[in-house]
Amino acid sequence: MSEFIVESHCREYLLRCSQANRAGKFTRVSKETIEEVNALVDSVIRQIESKVPTPLHDLPPCPEALRCINGYALEKCRDRLEAAVRKIMANKVQHTPSVGCTL
Interval 7-61: pLDDT, tens: 999 999 999 999 999 988 999 999 999 999 999 999 999 998 888 888 899 989 8
Residue 1 has pLDDT above 80, yes or no: no
Helix axes 7-21, 31-50, angle to 10 degrees: 100
How many CB atoms sit inside 10 A of residue 93's CB? Answer: 22
Quote the domain boundaries for residue 22. Answer: 1-52+91-103
Q: Is residue 59 part of a domain?
A: no
Residue 76 in any domain: the answer is no
Is 15 within the bounds of a domain? yes
Nearest to 88 by CA among 42, 49, 57: 42
The answer to whether position 41 is within a domain reads: yes
The predicted model scores a pTM of 0.82
